[in-house]
Amino acid sequence: MLASLRARPVFPNGSRSSNFRRGFCCRAEDQSVSVVTERQNKKKVVIVGSGWAGLGAAHHLCKQGFDVTVLEGGYELGPKTKSLSPDDAGIRGFWYPYRNIFNLVDELGLKPFTSWTKSAQYSEEGLEFARLPFTDRLTSLPLMAAVIDFNNTDTAWRKYDPITAREILKQFGCSERLFRDVFDPLLQVGLFAPAEQCSAAATLGMLYYFVLANQKNFDLVWCRGTVREKIFQPWTESMKIQGCRFLEGRKVTDVVVNEETGCISEVICEKESFKADAFILAVGISTLQEIVQNSAALCGREEFLKVMKLNSTDLLTVKLWLDRKVKIPYSSNVSSGFDGACAWTFFDLSTIYDEYKDSASTIVQADLYHANDLLPLKDEKIVEKVMSWLSRCIKDFENATVVDKEIGRFPKFLTHFFPGSYKYMMRGPTSFPNLYMAGDWIVNRHGSWSQEKSYVTGLEAANRVVDYVGEGAFARIVGVEEDEPHIQSLRSFNRNLYDIRAQLPFSNYFLQ
């Protein structure tokens, strides 16, 4: 087993004495040998994936003195462009409860974020929250009973996961307009699918994390450029200084298992192999499915076969340069209800990105989720549709002309939390003692979502490595803020009701 090996010094010419030096003299080749020996003595960790989860794990393990190698699969799911990387896709912006990410950028000494801003939501009738009748808003209150009942435990997930988001909203009396103009669009941009295709458990978890737990802090900040440029690049440079290696274009095709120990001994990337004491897979669902399909070792484990039942949704990104300034009231916007299309978001990059602050034109980006029917279209047709929708949100777009464009197609890129998906999702530990998982789709009990959850699961995976090899300190993970007193009281009352009901005859007889 690799963990039991110890590096031995190499003496040139077979002489033990020839390597001794007198005084303080030191030659370059001696320093090189010293560095190699030091690396050989360190515990080795290979991390597959270089998003929030993979970099989070690498960051902590580097600080603990591990020999870390990060395998980057490249941009096989989309274009390698300056304006967009996969790390900018999905739920955009950084929300108040992302406390672990905010601690990270403070530690790195970075200032990547804008000031706190508000978002808007558009429908065919205009700005939606301003138009939504008070009676419709009131119909959202009964749903809070389900949100309070959902406490992110395994029991709660199994109870609500088989139900669709539309069903749970209907059960609790949501009005037709509130559903059509508010909840359904929010779910499509938060869970990347229509309400009838979203798990009620994921819906309640997301609503609690982004809304109920932070009622006074619903604003968000934006990265003043791409996440890759403003955060990931300086972050990886800091890790390289600590000895971390980043190898691009390495696509994992298989793993090798040590039959005696039951541990993974190496990962295979086509003609290359990488040995280590521990491994972390910090990849999305579609990437893991591809790895599992090619690996006889992973196909032999039920937990990995279950992953093949999971789904991902498509993402289309459209970045447009316009010939004039268009006044966009809010930097970030959710929009829906146009031509029966999926919900989408658009962002005023002219006010968010530093590089566009002085531009005489407007640069806007639209992200379209669950965009299966739009990916096959020609670029020109996509631009025509997006400009039509933008014009119906904000009239000034009608007079603008597109002078440049950038289209990003990301098939099967975003996690789909469909009803019943929970039982197929993986946990952080696996049946291989030295293999761990991380990512926004991994089951954990922290309660966070999106980028923050990815980063937290990376830290959790790093802690499992520390525990497994018995070296280093554990990463400190900041928990989600405690419930406000009235929410704590309601949840306590709810638990007491469940305890009483569990003692009644036939409590487990009827379908829960």
Distance CA 192, CA 130 (A): 25
Closest CA to 336 of 198, 187, 207, 203: 187
60: left (phi over 0), alpha (psi -120 to 50) or beta: alpha
Percentage of the residues of the chain whose pLDDT score is greater than 70 = 79
Q: How confident is the model at residue 21 (pLDDT cuts 50, 70, 90)?
A: very low
Flag whether pLDDT at 25 surpasses 50.
Answer: no
Q: How confident is the model at residue 7 (pLDDT cuts 50, 70, 90)?
A: very low
Distance CA 44, CA 69 (A): 8
The set of residues, in sequence order, having a beta carbon less than 8 Å from that of 353 and lying 6+ positions away, is: 224, 225, 363
The set of residues, in sequence order, having a beta carbon less than 8 Å from that of 134 and lying 6+ positions away, is: none
Q: Note the pLDDT of residue 337.
A: 67
Q: Note the pLDDT of residue 16.
A: 36
pLDDT tens for 184-236 read 888 888 899 999 999 999 999 998 887 665 544 568 899 999 999 999 999 99
> Do 462 and 46 touch, CB atoms closer than 8 A?
no
> Do 475 and 200 touch, CB atoms closer than 8 A?
no
Q: Enumerate the domain spans of the chain.
A: 2-12+29-78+227-301+430-469, 119-218+309-419
Least confident of 242-256, 257-271, 494-508: 494-508
pLDDT tens for 388-401 read 999 999 999 999 99
Flag whether pLDDT at 75 surpasses 70.
Answer: no
Closest CA to 81 of 277, 317, 329: 317
The rounded Cα 110 to chain-centroid distance in angstroms is 20
Whole-number Cα distances in Å, 357 to 224, 361, 362, 503: 10, 10, 10, 64
Mean residue pLDDT of the chain comes to 84
The domain 119-218+309-419 having CATH identifier 3.60.20.10: the answer here is no
Q: Note the pLDDT of residue 208.
A: 83
Q: Counting beta carbons within 10 angstroms of the beta carbon of residue 178, is it exposed (0 to 12), middle (13 to 18) or buried (19 or more)?
A: buried
Query: Token pair of 434, please?
Result: 């030295």
Least confident of 37-41, 280-284, 503-507: 503-507
pLDDT tens for 385-432 read 999 999 999 999 999 999 999 999 999 999 999 999 999 999 999 999
Structural fold of domain 2-12+29-78+227-301+430-469 = FAD/NAD(P)-binding domain (3.50.50)
Q: Counting beta carbons within 10 angstroms of the beta carbon of residue 211, is it exposed (0 to 12), middle (13 to 18) or buried (19 or more)?
A: middle
What does pTM read for this prediction? Answer: 0.86
The set of residues, in sequence order, having a beta carbon less than 8 Å from that of 199 and lying 6+ positions away, is: 160, 161, 163, 164, 165, 191, 417, 418, 419, 420, 421, 422
* 175 strand-pairing partners: none
Query: Token pair of 463, please?
Result: 């802690």
Q: 55 or 142: which carries more pLDDT confidence?
A: 55
Question: How many CA atoms lie within 13 Å of 136's alpha carbon, on the beta-carbon side?
Answer: 15
Distance CA 334, CA 123 (A): 9
Q: Which amino acid is at 153?
A: T
Percentage of the residues of the chain whose pLDDT score is greater than 90 = 62
The set of residues, in sequence order, having a beta carbon less than 8 Å from that of 476 and lying 6+ positions away, is: none
Closest CA to 252 of 271, 270, 278: 270
Flag whether pLDDT at 10 surpasses 50.
Answer: no
